[in-house]
Amino acid sequence: MFAVIRTGGKQYRVAAEDVIKVDKIGGAPGDIVQLGEVLLVGGDSVTLGAPTVAGASVAAEVLEQGRGAKIIVFKKRRRKNSRRKRGHRQEFTLLRITEILTDGAQPSKPTRPKAERRRPAPETAQAQKEEPAQAGAAAAHETPAAAQAEPSRAKPKAQAKTAKKPAKTPAKSKAAKPKAGAKGKKK
């Protein structure tokens, strides 16, 4: 069984398990969307719509929401010092056709539940807060010799930056240079 559907001003011939790329339609990846503009339903017998087939629809699963390749639109008006450059990326939706429905039937496959964000358990969050405090306490118990053996990293970097830059020489004045050519000579 196949169907001809219209979406985004274009027509597509689809069958079950086909993957098509259409202009952007609403829905998150994993959602089931129902396309209602069915122009023709084919198979054993062909049903032609006028303009659409009554009670027919196509169920599809959203695989991906994305953007196509960049298209550069450059307009120039010659001899007018006028030019315009614009970029455009067309948004699309990748669909997998799950089933072709007739007589007002609803999709048999339900939408997948959305994955919820898992928050850390209160005991885990409390342990994370205590770890930095324990690390600070351990640093306080270190011996002064161990602390001095490890040099501070901030000071050598700052000193290294200033040491790398050479001193700038003052710019030469233009009056000191002799001018070349007849225009610069005085008689």
Decide if pLDDT at 149 tops 80.
no
Stretch among 46-55, 89-98, 140-149 having the lowest mean pLDDT: 140-149
- Look at residue 151 in the predicted model and tell me its pLDDT: 54
Average pLDDT, the chain: 79
Question: Mean of the pLDDT values across residues 19-31?
Answer: 95
Which residues, at least 6 apart from 101, have a Cβ–Cβ distance to it below 8 Å?
Answer: 34, 56, 57, 58, 59, 107
Question: Mean of the pLDDT values across residues 100-128?
Answer: 68
What is the token pair recorded at 125?
């969050």
Reference 98, options 137, 136, 63, 59; nearest CA is 59
Predicted confidence band of residue 139 (pLDDT cuts 50, 70, 90):
low
Tell me the C-alpha distance between 7 and 5, whole Å.
7
Stretch among 58-62, 71-75, 166-170 having the lowest mean pLDDT: 166-170
- Look at residue 108 in the predicted model and tell me its pLDDT: 83
* CB neighbourhood size of 60 (10 A): 28
**What DSSP letter does each residue of the chain carry, written as one string?**
-EEEEEETTEEEEEETT-EEEEE--S--TT-EEEE--EEEEESSS-EE-SSS-TT-EEEEEEEEEEEEEEEEEEEEETTTTEEEEEEEEEEEEEEEEEEEE-TTPPPSSPPPPPPPPPPPPHHHHHHHHHHHHHHHHHHHTS-HHHHHHS--SHHHHHHHHHHHSPPPPPPPPGGGSPPPSSTT---
Predicted confidence band of residue 64 (pLDDT cuts 50, 70, 90):
very high
Q: In terms of pTM, does the model score above 0.85?
A: no
- Look at residue 131 in the predicted model and tell me its pLDDT: 60
Q: Specify the amino acid at residue 85.
A: K
- Look at residue 106 in the predicted model and tell me its pLDDT: 87
- Look at residue 121 in the predicted model and tell me its pLDDT: 59
Selected residue with higher pLDDT from 121 and 107 = 107
Q: What is the tens place of the pLDDT at every residue in 150-177?
A: 555 555 555 555 556 666 776 666 565 6
Stretch among 24-28, 71-75, 84-88, 130-134 having the lowest mean pLDDT: 130-134
